[in-house]
């Protein structure tokens, strides 16, 4: 295994714990800015006198920012993890203030896209930072803890944004987000330990530009299999997820309220998956946990379409599916930080790009299969299952980090 200079020399001391808590708080805030718009598409459209579809397109544009992630992966390798995290948070704070000051559609589009760019800069950078300072034997539980910020952000975003939209305006929401982002910036600046270590600076990759970094990733076989895993996993998930609501409506005649309740069940499943990683992944091995989760998810993809005669069984199947997917995604993160430890931010940025591409491919594939099959969910499930099996195979056969890979 390649040397892990920063992590193996450090003790899990109070400074590291403060750094982790500050990083996770800032990520929780960033995720609030990411998720607040989803439940209120209609209300936001009404505020600007545009259609709900226009707001959905802005959200899609924001999600597509992830495709730029591989081009931004070298930033923290040049300037340092903490500096880039603080910079991304400052930029997001300023853009949120801009959204609070100007109630214009064009400003809203610009602000939402900028928030998406800030997230794709921050996420790989904090993952690389944790890879630098957390020993691999403990990394899964720390990253699992960090990933709780995704599910918990919706708990904050939905009620607060709903209250502010009803009581005031969208500008009040942006002002609230700007305040939170400002606090996140301050927390990272004050409590995250600097990552500049002259003794180990030479161990980091020296890259001239993003294309050089991407060529290095493309020549690294385990890295390419890791990216294939992320691409296939996300494509499988999106192929299924974009159609499951239609299937639940057709099979069980569910109303919108019931579908909303099912969405809460999925959020709970995500939290369960993250706790599984926290509790078990370091003990069982991150590679084994990720592969097992993906194999269980693939089986669920195949089986769930056959459960259309029983709503409780279908909901149980969907719950197990999302627990497995979340377990697989989160347990793969600490593993991938060690695939190219000399270029962690580059690798994690490429991984985020693979997930973004998977969402695009999966959404297009799911819509296409639904159209040509007349909404046959068995075919949709089979395609998702095959992609899931390919993801599991990529993990099992291709991802290598040395003797400690399991």
* pLDDT value of position 404: 43
Are residues 278 and 385 both part of a single domain?
A: yes
Are residues 56 and 127 both part of a single domain?
A: yes
Residue 338 lies in a domain: yes
Are residues 224 and 173 both part of a single domain?
A: no
Residue 206 lies in a domain: no
CATH number at residue 225: 1.20.1250.20
Are residues 129 and 24 both part of a single domain?
A: yes
Are residues 73 and 132 both part of a single domain?
A: yes
Cα dihedral 252, 256, 258, 262, rounded to 10, equals: 100
Are residues 176 and 311 both part of a single domain?
A: no
Are residues 187 and 217 both part of a single domain?
A: no
Residue 405 lies in a domain: no
Would you state the structure tokens that stand for residue 277, as one six-digit string? 């990683």
d(CA 263, CA 241): 11
Domain boundary pick from 143, 163, 193:
193
Are residues 121 and 163 both part of a single domain?
A: yes
Residue 4 lies in a domain: no
* pLDDT value of position 375: 86
Are residues 41 and 162 both part of a single domain?
A: yes
* pLDDT value of position 406: 42
Residue 28 lies in a domain: yes
d(CA 96, CA 54): 20
Please tell me the total count of domains within the chain: 2
Domain boundary pick from 193, 222, 240:
193
* pLDDT value of position 275: 94
* pLDDT value of position 110: 96
* pLDDT value of position 257: 56
Domain boundary pick from 193, 220, 237:
193
* pLDDT value of position 232: 97
Residue 268 lies in a domain: yes
Helices (H), 219-343: 221-252, 256-276, 282-284, 286-303, 311-336
Are residues 233 and 133 both part of a single domain?
A: no
- The mean pLDDT values, 10 residues at a time, for the chain of 406 residues are 43 82 96 86 88 84 83 80 95 97 95 94 92 90 90 82 89 96 97 67 50 78 95 94 82 67 79 94 94 97 94 93 96 93 87 90 88 92 97 93 52
**Burial of 403 (C-beta count, 10 Å sphere; 0-12/13-18/19+):** exposed
Domain carrying residue 118: 13-193
* pLDDT value of position 20: 94
* pLDDT value of position 296: 98
Please state, as a whole number, how many other Cβ atoms lie within 10 Å of the Cβ of residue 257: 8
Are residues 170 and 287 both part of a single domain?
A: no
Of 191, 184, 50, nearest in space to 115 by CA: 184
Residue 185 lies in a domain: yes
C-alpha distance across the termini of the chain, in Å: 12
d(CA 290, CA 297): 11
Of 194, 241, 260, 254, nearest in space to 370 by CA: 241
* pLDDT value of position 209: 60
Are residues 252 and 364 both part of a single domain?
A: yes
Residue 266 lies in a domain: yes
């Amino acid at each position: 295994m390649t040397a892990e200079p920063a992590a193996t020399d450090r003790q899990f001391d109070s400074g590291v714990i403060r750094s982790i808590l500050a990083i996770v708080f800032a990520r929780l805030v960033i995720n609030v800015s990411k998720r607040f718009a989803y439940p209120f598409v209609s209300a936001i459209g009404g505020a600007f006198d545009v259609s709900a579809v226009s707001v959905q397109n802005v959200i899609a544009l924001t999600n597509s920012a992830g495709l730029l992630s591989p081009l931004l992966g070298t930033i923290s390798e040049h300037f340092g993890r903490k500096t880039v995290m603080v910079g991304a948070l400052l930029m997001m704070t300023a853009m949120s203030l801009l959204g609070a000051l100007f109630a214009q559609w064009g400003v809203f589009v610009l602000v939402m896209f900028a928030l998406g760019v800030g997230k794709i800069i921050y996420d790989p950078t904090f993952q690389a930072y944790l890879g630098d300072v957390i020993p691999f034997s403990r990394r899964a539980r720390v990253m699992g803890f960090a990933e709780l910020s995704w599910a918990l952000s919706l708990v904050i975003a939905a009620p607060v944004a709903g209250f502010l939209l009803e009581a005031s305006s969208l500008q009040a929401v942006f002002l609230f987000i700007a305040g939170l982002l400002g606090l996140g910036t301050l927390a990272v600046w004050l409590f995250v330990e600097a990552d500049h270590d002259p003794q180990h600076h030479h161990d980091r990759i020296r890259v001239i530009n993003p294309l050089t970094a991407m060529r290095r990733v493309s020549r690294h076989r385990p890295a390419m299999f890791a990216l294939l895993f992320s691409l296939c996993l996300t494509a499988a998930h999106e192929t299924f997820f974009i159609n499951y609501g239609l299937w639940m409506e057709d099979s069980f005649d569910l109303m919108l309220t019931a579908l909303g309740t099912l969405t809460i069940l999925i959020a709970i499943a995500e939290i369960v998956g993250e706790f599984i990683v926290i509790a078990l992944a370091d003990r069982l091995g991150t590679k084994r946990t990720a592969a097992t989760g993906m194999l269980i998810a693939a089986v669920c993809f195949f089986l769930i379409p056959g459960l259309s005669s029983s709503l409780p069984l279908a909901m149980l199947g969907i719950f197990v599916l999302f627990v497995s997917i979340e377990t697989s995604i989160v347990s793969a993160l600490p593993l991938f930080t060690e695939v190219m430890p000399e270029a962690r931010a580059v690798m994690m940025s490429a991984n985020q790009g693979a997930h973004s591409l998977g969402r695009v491919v999966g959404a297009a594939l799911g819509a296409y299969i639904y159209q040509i099959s007349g909404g046959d969910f068995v075919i949709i499930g089979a395609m998702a299952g095959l992609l899931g099996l390919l993801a599991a195979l990529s993990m099992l056969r291709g991802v290598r980090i040395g003797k400690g890979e399991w």
